[in-house]
Structure 1
Amino acid sequence: MAAIELINVLRPIIAISTYITFTALALYDNPKYLEKLLVGDSNYYKMFIKEVKRYYPFGPFLGAKVRKDFKWNNIEFEKGMLVILDIYGTNHDSKLWAKPFDFWPERFDEKKDELFNFIPHGGGNASNGHRCPGEGVTTEIMKASLDLLVNKIEYEVPKQDLSFSLTKMPTLPESGFIMNKIKRKF
């Protein structure tokens, strides 16, 4: 029982640390947004965080088992069948997202249905769908981390391999995200 509890604590910590790494990478890859983030607008922080979760994949897909038989788009899904949700593909689908391969936080300025389009945490409602109930906590920790990176510390990013593979879980830059000469802003 203790092992299960430990896994239940470690899994979200690993997930959040992956998103924090991608937040730092997004700042590095997209310095033009730094000025807007320095203003401290909490709504812009939310848009930036959502775009990090949409653009950079925690993992390329999620697996699940069908809970009950159903038919969708003329495809039969039987109870117990293993299915895969293509997170990266959905979050980069041009039918759902304008310029899906551009990092653009302002896409979240307009409120639209995100239950099945914006799926870094799975799809549907957390209470009865296949969506992570920790999504809100993850967002708040990412906002605090973004604030730290933007307003509280200065750092340099040395040359490194920041590419990532869509075949690894969790997806991370090859070299991690190395920062040096870190110091507190005053």
Structure 2
Amino acid sequence: MALNQFPHERTKLKTTPDYAHFFIQEVRRYYPFFPFVAAKVKADFTWNDYLFEEGTLVLLDIYGTNHDPKMWENLDEFYPERFAKWQGDLFSFIPQGGGEYETTHRCPGEQLTIEMMKLSLEYLLNKMDYEGTIYNKG
């Protein structure tokens, strides 16, 4: 979708080393795979004067966090370059959950997802004419 909506990105992807990484991260931020994930509170804690009790079902707002104006400048703009010097942490960019893979609620398949997106991106850049048909370059 991003390659079609933002055609200028195709040129950058073909000419700029490492740009695919930034592009993929921005796709994951801009178009989340799902809007939220569910989890249960492991231990009582208070956040913003609200008590979260152990065992309570909570929802992590992935879309909202990845479009939060407190964390992202120009959040409604598709801008892969934001990831070139991104200094966020594992809780501010949460396309597949937040935190560490081993101890918190982050998808252990995230790196596999990124690698699959790289392969898909390569195919889409080299095999699509963006008029709706697929062609073979050899």
With the shorter chain as reference, the TM-score category is: over 0.9
Q: Give 1:40 shift.
A: 6.0
Gaps of 5+ in 2: none
- How far, CA to CA, are the matches of 2:109 and 2:136 in structure 1? 30
1:71 and 2:23 aligned: no
User: Which amino acid is 1:33 matched to?
Assistant: E
Gaps of 5+ in 1: 1-24, 158-179
User: Which amino acid is 2:76 matched to?
Assistant: F
Q: Which runs of 4+ in 1 moved over 6 A?
A: none
Taking structure 1 as reference, are residues 156 and 44 closer, same or farther at Cα in structure 2, changes over 3 Å only?
closer
Q: Is contact 2:35-2:61 (8 Å) kept?
A: yes
Taking structure 1 as reference, are residues 87 and 67 closer, same or farther at Cα in structure 2, changes over 3 Å only?
same
Name the % identity: 50
Q: Is contact 2:42-2:54 (8 Å) kept?
A: yes
Higher relative contact order (Cα pairs below 8 Å, separated by 6+ residues): 1
Identify, as 1 or 2, the structure richer in helix.
1
Q: Give 1:181 shift.
A: 2.3
1:35 and 2:11 aligned: yes
TM-score, normalising length from structure 2? 0.93
The SS at the match of 1:68 is coil
Q: Is contact 1:154-1:185 (8 Å) kept?
A: no
Corresponding pairs, count: 138
What does residue 128 of structure 2 align with? 154
1:45 and 2:20 aligned: yes
